[in-house]
Amino acid sequence: MKKKGRFSITCIGMILAFLLSAGTANPARIKDMAYFLGARSNSLIGYGLVVGLKNTGDTTTNTLFTMTTLANTLMNMGIFVDPTQAKVKNVASVMVTAKLPPFSRTGAKIDVQTSSIGDAISIEGGTLLMTPLKGPDGKVYAVAQGPVSTGGFSVSGASGSSVQKNFPTVAFISGGALVEKEIPVQYSELSAIDIVLKTPDFTTAHKTAEAICLGVPGISARALDAGTIRLDVPPDQRSEIVGLITKVENLEVHPDVIAKVVVNERTGTIVMGEHVRIAPVAVAHGSLTVQITEKPTVSQPLPFSKGTTKVVPQTSIQVQEGKGHLAVVGGGVTIGQVINGLNAIGATPRDLINILQSIKAAGAMDAELELI
């Protein structure tokens, strides 16, 4: 098993080395690492009904709000129904969410996602009824409607067995909402434009300002802080602001990154940055394995005796402790040397997570350790 762990860690080191070398050779465009202030998406949300289900909708007893919504919808159409008497299984209440992209105009189509909030088994094959989508200010910016696509299914038998793929209670509607209200974004005639970095960093902000000043003649740019670069627009270019933004967003910058180690304890995934360094430290590694096995044995009484047949459990406990290894990791080592050094003591990816946490706690790692 240790050989498999060594192979995994070595592969991680090789992949990281390739990615880091590729990232160093190819700078990033400003449009990929930042956005212009004001040009952002806005979240929309709404409550609606999905109808046309095949007896997989919300139940009447547990989700009375679904029947109440259905009764109110029918009442608006002139049909009066008592929600306490309605017994249908082909309707499900859903929350509808969407992102309104910047510069979206009236009549544009946007994608929406519907998620069941009741006890529906599946909303596969249903149709979302007209649902207003509101922004944080409570105003309606889009209206969603159309057939939903789950990309999964759920099938159950009479005995209680079931088979499920993905999540049939969450669906997607491509272009399922029409924009009814625009969010105005004006860039024309502006005297200054702010560029916001997606990952704030003082060095990257300074490099971005320098790249704009060198790449676009006659333009003045300065970093206001770690995440904002202000672009001063000359009076003679304010009428051609789109062309100026096009030139700026396609400039390339070498972003600076901090030394960081990201650890996912659930999957055992470890990603290390290029600038991770470790001071001289000794690492001891060992393992303790406890295996408990229970094997039932049938005890049969003698013939013509009054005894009864019983099942007697037999328990076997085995304890195996691996030998501890002590290895010294030199100072100022790189990512590849860290992997090779820990691999030499037989550490698996799971062990490597605990070792890195201990090294960080000892103050020997000059990097940020983030657990996700």
Examine the domain organization and report whether 57 and 126 are in the same domain: yes
Mean pLDDT of 194-212: 92
pLDDT at 330 > cutoff 60: no
Percentage of the chain modeled with pLDDT above 70: 74
pLDDT of res. 34: 92
Q: Does a structural domain hold residue 306?
A: no
Examine the domain organization and report whether 291 and 366 are in the same domain: yes
Examine the domain organization and report whether 364 and 274 are in the same domain: yes
Q: Does a structural domain hold residue 320?
A: no
Lowest mean pLDDT among 66-70, 134-138, 359-363: 359-363
- Picking from 230, 253, 276, the residue at the C-terminal end of a domain is 253
Q: Does a structural domain hold residue 313?
A: no
Residue 251 CA to residue 195 CA, distance in Å, equals: 13
pLDDT of res. 134: 95
Examine the domain organization and report whether 46 and 174 are in the same domain: yes
Q: Does a structural domain hold residue 60?
A: yes
Q: Which of 53, 133, 146 is nearest to 93 (CA)?
A: 53
Q: How far lies 318's CA from each of 158, 290, 292, 294, 315, in Å?
A: 43, 6, 6, 12, 10
pLDDT of res. 370: 80
pLDDT of res. 325: 55
- For 329, half-sphere exposure in the C-beta direction (CA atoms, 13 angstrom radius) is 28
On average, the pLDDT of the chain sits at 78
Examine the domain organization and report whether 203 and 123 are in the same domain: no
pLDDT digits (tens, 9 = 90+) for 114-130: 999 988 888 988 999 99
pTM for the structure as a whole: 0.62
Residue 96 CA to residue 119 CA, distance in Å, equals: 16
Examine the domain organization and report whether 287 and 337 are in the same domain: yes
Examine the domain organization and report whether 102 and 210 are in the same domain: no
pLDDT of res. 147: 94
Mean pLDDT of 312-328: 58
* Residue 183's pLDDT band (cuts 50, 70, 90): confident
Examine the domain organization and report whether 58 and 173 are in the same domain: yes
Question: Tokens in use for 301?
Answer: 């009484």
Mean pLDDT of 159-184: 80
Q: Does a structural domain hold residue 272?
A: yes
In sequence order, the 6+-apart residues with CB closer than 8 A to the CB of 142 are: 44, 98, 100, 110, 132, 133, 177, 178, 179, 180, 181
**Count of domains observed in the chain:** 3
Q: Does a structural domain hold residue 311?
A: no
Mean pLDDT of 148-159: 65
User: Residue 202: enclosing H or E segment and its boundaries?
Assistant: helix 202-215
pLDDT digits (tens, 9 = 90+) for 238-265: 888 888 889 999 999 988 888 888 877 7
Give the CATH number of the domain where residue 195 resides. Answer: 3.90.1150
Question: Tokens in use for 314?
Answer: 């037999």
Residue 235 CA to residue 58 CA, distance in Å, equals: 61
- For 58, half-sphere exposure in the C-beta direction (CA atoms, 13 angstrom radius) is 23
Examine the domain organization and report whether 213 and 338 are in the same domain: no
* Residue 4's pLDDT band (cuts 50, 70, 90): very low
Which residues, listed in sequence order, are joined to residue 156 by a DSSP beta bridge? Answer: 162
- Picking from 253, 282, 310, the residue at the C-terminal end of a domain is 253
Examine the domain organization and report whether 212 and 286 are in the same domain: no
pLDDT digits (tens, 9 = 90+) for 6-22: 434 444 444 444 344 44
Residue that has been written with the tokens 């290894």 in this structure: 325
Q: Does a structural domain hold residue 302?
A: no
Examine the domain organization and report whether 47 and 147 are in the same domain: yes
Examine the domain organization and report whether 247 and 341 are in the same domain: no
pLDDT at 95 > cutoff 50: yes
pLDDT at 311 > cutoff 70: yes
DSSP states along 87-105: --SSEEEEEEEEEE-TT--
Mean pLDDT of 355-364: 77
Q: Does a structural domain hold residue 59?
A: yes
Residue 269: domain span: 2-23+260-297+325-371
